[in-house]
Structure formats: structure tokens, C-alpha cells
Amino acid sequence: MAIKKDKVDAVIVGFGWTGAILGQELTDAGLNVVALERGGMRDTPTDAQYPKVIDELEYSVRGKLFQELARETVTIRHTPNDLAVPYRQNGSFLLGNGVGGAGFHWNGMHYRALPEELKLRSHYEERYGKKFIPDGMTIQDFGVSYEELEPHFDFAEKVFGTSGKAGNLNGKIVPGGNPREGARSSEFPTPPLQNTYGATLFEKAAREVGFNPYPAPAANTSQPYTNPYGVRLGPCNFCGFCENYGCYMYSKASPQTTILPVLLKKTNFELRTNAYVIKVNLDSDGKKATGVTYIDAQGREVEQPADLVIMAAYQMHNVRLLLLSGIGKPYDPKTGEGVVGKNYAYQMNGAVNVLLPKGTQLNPFIGTGAGGVSMDDLNGDQFDHGPLGFIGGASIRHIRYGGRPIKMTPTVPGTPSWGSKWKAGIADAYQRYMTIGISGSVMSYRDACLDLDPTYKDAYGVPLLRMTFDWHDNEYAMLGYMGDRMEEVGRAMNPEKVFRAIRKKGTHYDTRIYQSTHTTGGAIMGTNPSNSVVNRYLQSWDVSNVFVMGASAFPQNMGYNPTGVVAALAYWSAKAIREQYLKNAGPLVQA
């Protein structure tokens, strides 16, 4: 018999970025809110202590802050006809766990969306014609515009204390920033972080080739800063232990460093950790959620009734919970029918690596999570795709994360992987080998999707999520082009040698190698119930008192890192809940 808790106004499932944002907004509106986090409590003094946190083996290699795969993972297959097998060890993506979620151990790359990305299908059809989009590519518009999201992009930057330089202020191009960005209503809250030596070399070379490099927007504050909630952040000190770690300097924006000091003190808010939600409960006709059921730290089933359910878990977990709860029609890749699990997407990354002359001192250990030099000349639709024949682009950048010795001591290709030659190889490359990173978009396709695995279960016996994903020709073409263009930039740096690290057509998605934790889709937003799981306010079409946050709403993925869009969508959804839904509960968009 499940334990039944007292009913609350709203229950939030998952307590990372979007859970913290919705918690703050809904308690502000006067609601009694309970947040349920499957992991434990995490905070800066306890989980990011200096010097204990400066431990690469413990954090980056053994993954101290990541989801415990032993308890819960996903299964993966390349096509709907393959057998899916478990993602047994961390590789391709690093899922978060605990309070703050991946927002506690991310880099802090804080981009908005380029305006055209949010209306991708209609933009491409208009500029290049309907036939330009290949069969089987299932991209669509988000259903919300850049202009509508702008105040929320802006506010999220202010909450995060993001460092950067505007390039387009209210439609006017201003020097020093990104001329390709959508119009912004205000400057970044803190100025750009200082460039490392490598970043200055990339900037100079990119400019020489004719591109428009700009200071990468980083949710690593460059100076002491107090955000709109009154929470203070300190300046980043270039420690080189950012992603995979909590920030001991209180510089990297995380729920802990920006929202929780205020939210956790509120009397109308309660956080319960070690609460693993297994189901959103529905009423008898399946039209309304009555709350959620979770398993507590002792393994007991607990029912938490609520008027409003906010699904704020990570992208994959949101989709899994929808499927486990029977909300929305599951997607079937064979027929193309159904929506839950549809349009899973990822990012296609590559690099051009540059070996600078002997004697160069990059001092690679001087690093930040997100500060450096970025360029968008080949991102979104900022260049003519007509003659190129592919869709999408890449956010290209040099950001030095650090020179951590186990995972960041590369050798140039061709060096033996052990013995004296390996020793000589890492000693030689450490100070003079740098990367131009290419973070490429991935479109959505009919055969890339998520559903429940028929065989494998989590520690509680609940089915795992099953991912079906492989690369498509469009993305190989995109990445190949980016590689060509970046080789030009690499050569402009007058290096000893340039190495191309670009995935070749015919290779398959490799789950072993870290690529990015930017998995998207599966609970996509859109303009009507036949093409999406949630409406433009992230409200479930099927169960109107369920809202689903996060990158699960992206109909396809972009070259940029997703957190800026995820945060803006959360604020946008919260505004709709506060101003419309709470006054008149029911569908905010008529189907």
C-alpha cells in the first residue's frame, strides 16, 4: 500500500535547472510546491570543496557526479531492426544526478538560439524550396519565435551572470560582439572572460580567413555579480576544473549558485531528495493528472497528489516518464504515427587540431568551462546552403577547458599509445596542440526515436528507455564542409601541422566516445497534437495539467549548446502558467 502525502498545488519532477526555475516562479505566484529529486543533495561547500574537488580521477574519469548507470541507464540501437543493448559505461553522453542535475557539472556554455532555428522548416522551405528538405527528415518549427523568447533569454542571462559581449543591441550591430546573433534587448550582465593564448590565436586566424569571431557567452562570471534574485557569484579564476565538477569559486552558474539560496528558504517550497518518480498518475478518463508516485530512499512507494505536474527531469527521463505514465500516443517509427519518443536528435561534433611551433606555451591548464572565442558564420542558416545541399550548421569555437592530465594530454595522430614514444608525445604536445571545436546540428529523422525497452530494467524493475539513433548523410555533409573551412583557419595559424578529426561517412554512432550531453527531442513542441507532444507553452496536449520542460521539447537539435534555450523556454512556460493557466486551468492552445 503506497504512502499518500497531502496534496500540493504543484509537484516538480527533477530538480536541475528547469526544476529550480519552475520552483522559483511557481512559489513566487503563491503556490505550494514540492520538488522531487531522484538523487541526493548537492551544494558547493559539500560537493565542490577546494582542494578535494580538484581530483580528475574521481570526477572526470570515475564520474562521481553522474547518473549511477548501475541503477538506471538507457539501451541503444542504430536502427529499428537492431537489438538494443545497454549503455553500460559512461561514454557518448554524461547524464546528471542529484540536486542541480547536470546544471551542477556543466561547462556553462550559454547560447541563445539563432532566430531561424526556431522556425527551421518554414525558414528552409521559404528560402530553398520544399524539395530541399529530404524525405525522412522530420524537422519542424518550435511554435515559438525568437522575439517571443527574447525577454526570457535576457532574464536567464541575468540570473546566470553570463559573461559576454552583445553584437546586436536592439537591431543595431555593435562592435566586439556576435554580428550574427538575434537582436538582444540588453548587454550581457558581465563582460567577456579574458582570452587564453590559444583563443587569441584562433580569433586572429578566423578573422584573417574572413569570419566574425566573438567572445563566447559563458555562464562563468568574469567579475563579482549579484543576480536578480539577490544571489552573489564570484569571478572565475580559470581553475581548469569546470565541466564534470562543481565550481568551488561560485563562478559557474548552477541552480546552487543562482536560485537555490533563495528558493530553499521559502516556506511554500519543499525539496525531497532520493525520490525517484516512476509514474504520473492520471484520473479515470486519462485527461487529468492527479499527482505522481515515487520510490523513496527506503524503497517505499509514495503517492504525491498535486493539481499541477511539472516534468523537469533530463530530456531522456521526461520521455521515459511520459511513456511509463501513458501520456500521449507513443511514436512508432515503422508507421510514423504517434508522437511520444519522436524526433530524437543529438549533435555531430568534430574538430580541426593544430600543432603549433615548438616552444609555444599555451599553458593549457589555464581553462574555463565556456570562455573563449566562438563564431556563427557557419551556424544556423547564416550562410547559403543552396549550393551545399545540406541543412544545418555548427557553432565553431576554441574554448580551453583545462589541461587535466589523464584526459587532456593528447598526442598527435600516429604516436604510439604507450612506451617512451608516448611519453615523449604527451610531453611535446601538451603546450602546443590546440583544438578548433565544431559543434554541429543534427536534424530529426523518421527512424531516430525513443521508446521503452522490452527487456532491460532499472534497479526497481521499471523498463529502461530505448534509443534508436545513427548518423545520416545530411550530417556527414555538414561536418565535412565545416572541416574544410576550419582547415583554412588552422592553416592561417601558421602551425607546424593541421590534423582533421572529422567523422567519415559510413561510420556509425559510437556510444563509447564522449561527444556531447546534448540529447534532444522525444516530447517535442509544435503547433498541433498530430505533430507534437506539448504545445508552444510546453503543456501536454493530452493532459492539460502536465507541463514538460527541457530539451525534450526541441523538434531537432542545433549547433549551439541547449541550456540557454532550455532556460528561456522554462521561463516562457512559467509565464504562461502564471498569467494564463492559473487563472483558467485548461488547455492554453486549442487543439
Partner 1 sequence: MSQDKEPRRRFLRQVLAIVPATTLATGATLTQSACSSDKSAAPAASTTPYEPKYFTADEWRFVNAAVDRLIPADDLGPGALQADVPQFIDRQMETPFGHGKLWYMQGPFHPDQPPEMGYQLSLVPRDIYRHGIAACDAYCKKQYNKAFADLDHATQEAVLGDMEHAKVEFDSVPARTFFSYLLANTKEGFLSDPIHGGNKDMVGWKLVGFPGARADFMDWVDQPNVKYPYGPVSISGKRG
Residues 374-433 that bind partner 1 (CB under 8 A): 403-406, 409, 417-420, 422-424, 426-427, 430-431
Nearer to partner 1, 242 or 568 (CB): 242
365 makes contact with partner 1 (CB under 8 A): yes
502-521 binders of partner 1 (CB under 8 A): 508-512
366 makes contact with partner 1 (CB under 8 A): yes
User: Which set of grid coordinates corresponds to residue 407?
Assistant: 584526459
209-248 binders of partner 1 (CB under 8 A): 224, 232-235, 237-241, 248
Q: How far is the CB of 215 from partner 1 (least distance, A)?
A: 14
Q: How far is the CB of 309 from partner 1 (least distance, A)?
A: 28
How many residues are given for the chain? 591
245-274 binders of partner 1 (CB under 8 A): 248-250, 261
Q: Give the β-pairing of 168-169 and 172-173.
A: antiparallel
Q: How far is the CB of 450 from partner 1 (least distance, A)?
A: 17
Q: Count of CB atoms within 10 A of residue 417's CB? A: 8
Instruction: Select from 95-103, 131-139, 189-197, 561-569 the region that touches partner 1 (CB under 8 A).
Output: 189-197
200 makes contact with partner 1 (CB under 8 A): yes
471 makes contact with partner 1 (CB under 8 A): no
Residue 270's nearest CA partner among 8, 4, 43 is 8
| 3 state DSSP class of 367 | strand
127 makes contact with partner 1 (CB under 8 A): no
452 makes contact with partner 1 (CB under 8 A): no
Number of residues that bind partner 1 (CB under 8 A): 75
Q: Which residues contact 103 (CB under 8 A, 6 or more apart)?
A: 16, 17, 20, 96, 253, 254, 255, 563
Residue 560's nearest CA partner among 147, 201, 251, 116 is 116
Residue 198's nearest CA partner among 365, 343, 346 is 365
Alpha-carbon span 366 to 361, nearest angstrom: 11
501 makes contact with partner 1 (CB under 8 A): no
Nearer to partner 1, 69 or 452 (CB): 69
Q: How far is the CB of 77 from partner 1 (least distance, A)?
A: 8
Q: How far is the CB of 21 from partner 1 (least distance, A)?
A: 21
Q: What is the DSSP letter of 192?
A: P
Grid cell 557518448 is found at 92
138-177 binders of partner 1 (CB under 8 A): none
Distance set, CA 576 to CA 20, 429, 524, 537, 581 (Å): 17, 52, 18, 7, 6
Is 152 annotated as catalytic?
no
Helix or strand run (H / E) with residue 209: helix 197-209
Nearer to partner 1, 38 or 112 (CB): 38
The sign of the torsion formed by the CA atoms of 35, 40, 44, 45 equals positive
Grid cell 520538488 is found at 35
Nearer to partner 1, 58 or 270 (CB): 58
55-114 binders of partner 1 (CB under 8 A): 55-57, 61-63, 68-70, 73, 76, 78, 83, 85-91
Could you give the residue ranges of the DSSP H alpha helices within 239-379? 255-258, 260-263, 315-325
52 makes contact with partner 1 (CB under 8 A): yes
- Tell me the catalytic residues: 518
